[in-house]
Amino acid sequence: MVASRWLASSPLARPIPPDEIEDSRLLRVLVQGLVTVGIGSVVVAAAGVTAASWWNLLAIPLSAVGATFSWQRRRDRNIAVKFFIAIGMLMALAAFFSRLLEAPGDTRIVLAELLVQLQVLHSFDLPRRKDLGYSMMIGLILLGVAATISQTLAFAPLLVLFLALAVPVLRLDYQSRLGLGPIAWGEIKLRPTLGRFLGLMALIVGLGLLIFVFLPRLPGYQIQNFPVSSVIDTPGDFSGEDILNSAYRDNGGEDGEGDGFGDGAGTIQGQGKTTGPGVVDTVSYYGFNQRMNQNLRGTMTPQVVMRVRSQAPGFWRVLAFDTYTGQGWDISRNDEAQTLNRSRFSAQTFLPIDPTLARNREVVQTYTLVSELPNLIPAMYQPKQLYFPTREVAIDAEGSLRSPVVLQEGMTYTVVSRVPFRDRTLLGQAGTRYPPGMRSHYLQVPEELLEPVRAKTEELLATSPVPLTNAYEKSLYLAQALKQRYTIQPELPFFNAEQDLVESFLFQTQGGYPDHFSTVLTIMLRSIDIPARLVAGFGEGEFNPFTGFYVVRNTDAYALTEVYFPQYGWFGFDPIPGHELIPPSLRESEAFSMVRRFWDWLAGGLPSPLVGFVDGLITLLSDGIAYLVRTFNALLNLGWVGIMLGIAIATALGFVAWLAFLGLRRGWRYRQLRQLPPTERLYQQMLTWFAHQGLGKTPAETPIEYGQRLYQQTQPQLAQAANEIAHAYVRWRYGGEPQNLAYLGEKLQAIRKNGAPRQRLIRR
C-alpha cells in the first residue's frame, strides 16, 4: 500500500497526453472480440488433436475484466499496475520454460498458452491505440496457431467470425489514426452500413475460396522439425515381436486366463478363434495381427481413427504377411524384428531401406490418432525416417513398423518415406532375377492347391487379346480379371475345417469378402512364379480440401497384393471390385491437385460430354506442367549451360505468352465494342486510339472537357474531328438525338489517317 501511494505521488505518474488516448468504446469492444475469438480458436482447434487445457477459456472473462479496467483508468499512468504486470509476465515465462523442459515435443500449444497468459496481463494496461494494436496482433497470432493445429471444420466459423470483426476494426483504427474521433452510436446508419459490410464480407470470402482452389500446392515441410507428440516412457524389454491388437484377446488357454493381448491366438469378441469361424470386431480391423484369420464374418461400425496430412495421397501401409495358411495369413519371421533406438536429443529415427533403381520422391506424412490403434505404425512405403514419441521402435522383416505401446488417441507422429514412381515400362522390363531368399518366402503355395490354381491362372491369362510377356502386365491383367469375373458376397458362409479359401473362391462360390480377392490374387501370382505378399493397411480416406487432412476411418482398412520387381522393389495391386486397380500413389505433378478435387466434386452434376472435355483440358495441363518440371530438372543437370538455356527458353515462352495476352485482350475489346450502340462504339474507338497515342481521357473529365484539352496537345484538325465525335456522343447519350453515323465514321478514319505523322513529330 505504501509503495502504491509513493508511486502515485511520484513525478512519473503524470497523465498521458490526451491525443494519445483511445476514446473509441466501439473500437475497444471489437478488439476485445478479436482477442476472444483468438483464445477460443486455440481451444477448439486443439480439441481431440493435442493436449490443451480447457482452463484457457478462463482467459476470456479475465481479459474482458482487464479491458474494462483499462477503459476506466485510461487517463492514468498506472505505474503500480505496470509493475505487477511485469512480475506476472516473468512468472509466465518461467512457467513456459519449465513446461518445455518437462515435456519436450510439439511446442505450438505451449507457446499459444504463453501468449494467452501475456494477453490477459496486457489487457490491464490499454490506454493508447497502439496498445490495442498489440492486442489485435495477439488475436491474429492465436488464430494462426489454431489454423496450424486444426484438423476439422469446427475452426471455420471462428475464422469467419474473426474476419467479420476485423473489417470494422480496421476501419475504426484508420479513422482513429486520422484523428477524426470516435463515431457516435446515433450517427451509424444501420441498414446501408450492414449492406456494405455483408457485401464486402461476401467478396472477401469468395475471393479467398477462389484463390484457395487455384493456388498451386507445392511440396510443404521444407523444414526438418516435424510434428511429434511428447516423449512416452516405455518398458525396457521391448523386442518388437508382440502385436497389441484389442480385437484379438488372448484367453490364455483353456482356463481362460490371459492378459488381453499376447501372440494373437485368442478370440475375436469371444466368438471365434484366429484359426476358425468367428465374428469381426466392430471397431478394430482384424488384419492387424501376427495371424490374419479370413474365416470371419460381419462388418465394422464406421468411426474416424486418424487424420493424415501428407504431401501426396497413398496407401497407409500397416502390416505384411508372407505365409498362406489356407484360411488366412501368418508372419513366419515375426521373431526377426529389429529394434531401433533414437537419440535422446532428437525425435528422429533412421530406418533401413532397400536400394532401388526406381525414380522416387520424399513424401512427408503427419499422422494424428483420433482413436486407439494397435502398436503398428501406419506409413507409406518405404519409410526412411520416423519422428515418433517413443525412444525405440521396431521394424520387422516385411518392412512394417512397430511401437512399444498401443497408439493412443491424440498421439501425433511424422514419417518421411522414399516413395517410388510407378513406371509401367521399366517395371515390365524388370526380369525375373530375384535376390536370394525371395523365392523361399514369397512363392509359398500349399502343395495340393498349386496345380489347380496354376491352371486357372493360365486360363485367365490366355483370355488376354495380346500376349502377356512380363510379370507387371500379368499382375495387372489378373487383378482386373478378378474384378470383372468374381463378385463380393456379403452373405458368404463360414469355411469348414477342410475348406481352402482360394479354392472355394475360384471354383465354388465365385467370389467372397473384399480381402479374399487380394488373397486369391497373391496365391495366383505365386502359382506362376511371381513373388507376392499380402499387405494390410488403410486407404487414403476422405480428403478434406478445407483442412488439408485425409480423414481415415476404420472401414478404410483393407488388404491388397504387393508384387516384387527385381531392382525396383514392391508395388501394390488392388483386385477388390469398386477400388482403383492401382492403389493411391505418386503423380508427376500435385501442384494443382485442389483444382482436380474441386472439379471431381462439380462434375457430378454436369453432362458427360462437357465433363470429358474439361477432363481432357485438366489432363493436358497436368501433363504440360509435369513435362516442364522434367525439362527444368534436366537443364539443371547440364550446369551453367543448362541454366542459361533454361533462361532463354523461359524468356521466349514469356514473350509468346505476352503476345497471346495482347491478342486475347484485343479480341475481347473488339467483342465489347461490337455489343455497343453505333454512336457509343465510334466514341469509344476514338478514345482508344488517342489513349494509344498517350492522350487518354481521365475519369474526371467530361467528353466536352476532353475535346477542349485536345486542342492544346495535338493537331487542330484532329482536335476538331474529336470534338465533333464527342459532341455527337453527348447529344445522343443525354438528348437521345440520332446522329449521322457515316459522317462520324469518316471523321474517325481521318483521325486514324492523319494522326500518326503528327504523333511521331511530337515524340521527336
> In sequence order, what DSSP letters do the residues of 368-420 get, joined into one string?
EESS-B-SEE-BPSSEEEEE-SSSEEEE-TTS-EE-SS-B-TT-EEEEEEEEE
Identity at 215, one-letter amino acid code: L
What is residue 237's three-state secondary structure? coil
What's the whole-model pTM score? 0.68
User: Can you give the pLDDT at residue 7?
Assistant: 41
- Domains of the chain, residue spans: 2-183, 427-539+556-598, 676-763
User: Can you give the pLDDT at residue 53?
Assistant: 67
Model confidence pLDDT, tens digit, residues 269-295: 444 456 788 888 888 898 998 899 999
Q: What is the side-by-side order of every strand in the sheet holding 542-544?
A: 348-350, 383-387, 412-420, 360-369, 304-310, 549-553, 542-544
Instruction: State the average pLDDT over residues 170-197.
Output: 68
Model confidence pLDDT, tens digit, residues 538-581: 999 988 877 888 999 999 999 999 999 999 999 999 999 999 99
Instruction: State the average pLDDT over residues 147-158.
Output: 80
> What is the C-alpha to C-alpha distance for residues 320 and 305, in angstroms, rounded to an integer?
20
C-alpha grid cell, residue 29: 469492444
Element spanning 752, H or E:
helix 741-763
What is residue 211's three-state secondary structure? helix
> What is the C-alpha to C-alpha distance for residues 636 and 642, in angstroms, rounded to an integer?
6
* 149 or 598, greater pLDDT: 149
Q: Alpha helix (H) ranges present in 446-513?
A: 447-461, 471-485, 501-504
What is residue 75's three-state secondary structure? coil
What rounded mean pLDDT belongs to the chain? 81
Determine what percent of the chain is predicted with pLDDT higher than 90.
Answer: 26
Q: How many residues does the chain have?
A: 764
Instruction: State the average pLDDT over residues 476-503.
Output: 93
Q: Alpha helix (H) ranges present in 603-715?
A: 608-636, 640-674, 678-692, 703-713
CA distances from 392 to 232, 239, 398, 404 (A): 10, 10, 18, 7
Residues in contact with 685: Cβ distance below 8 Å, sequence separation at least 6, in sequence order:
673, 748
Model confidence pLDDT, tens digit, residues 377-418: 999 999 999 999 888 999 999 999 999 989 988 888 999 999
What fold characterizes domain 427-539+556-598?
Answer: C8orf32 fold (3.10.620)
**pLDDT above 60 (res 265):** no
User: Can you give the pLDDT at residue 612?
Assistant: 73
Q: How confident is the model at residue 222 (pLDDT cuts 50, 70, 90)?
A: very low
